[in-house]
Structure 1
């Protein structure tokens, strides 16, 4: 319950303070891809679908697949900058505010990632809100290794403390973890 309070508090602060930056990134994104906001249906808490929002980092005609299955050539130069700085994740603060996500939790997967869904279901991961960052992300474990990712998600959720919550956020902001890999 307290972590949900922190999610709401930090998402409101992040959206309010970050609004000028969000505006600038949106305008640059318009020139980069013509469509700066990316929306995609993802698997949420209790396997309920929700629409994740983030800044677009790939060309608009890129197939809707997990990042590790997409081609690196689909990433625009501005998109590369957004991914490297993790600024592409900022709009997800809206998902956090709405209660669809948490700042810390397992990254939400796509409904077509059946192996990952099965592994997470087996480990009770879907009982929790998905997150913007977490233990797997700061350790560079992504959706290309579904069993390891689900095990890491379970480990994080079973032992998550307020200290860990802040640790994962600070590690992410400080640049730990590289985000989802793409094919080279």
Structure 2
């Protein structure tokens, strides 16, 4: 009896692994007709689900010349499934004017836990399209006008899941903090 139960449990386990990992599509591409002409990004926007909790920006002395900064953000997951963030591109605006833009692919996915939050880690080479000095005027909130993500939904510790591109996300008044790193050291 125990051997039969063990075999049944083993078979169920192998089928579950096959269903969750091997048989899942690697890409979820939804045609507009499937969602009444709406993209996944359109639905998220309509529901008012902001996926970015806050943004932190680091401006250095070099930024004043290069107009390149570093940023990181806290992503939130409103779903009862783990999300693994593979890449992000975004344009941040204020009063309709684009102030920064970047595109970044993570070397290791950012794993956002079920109903949780996770920091993205430092993202370098974010372009300040209006220049560093003009960008200081936009403290303390930014609007994310055009954000595109690639996530894997339903991953387990960052592995597997269904790859979903989400395009056209918008989010208003994202809290933004700026840190000025002047590269000065305290000399005694």
TM range (shorter): under 0.3
Bigger fraction of residues in helix = 1
Structure whose CA Rg is larger: 2
Bigger fraction of residues in strand = 2
- TM superposition score normalised by structure 2: 0.23
- TM superposition score normalised by structure 1: 0.23
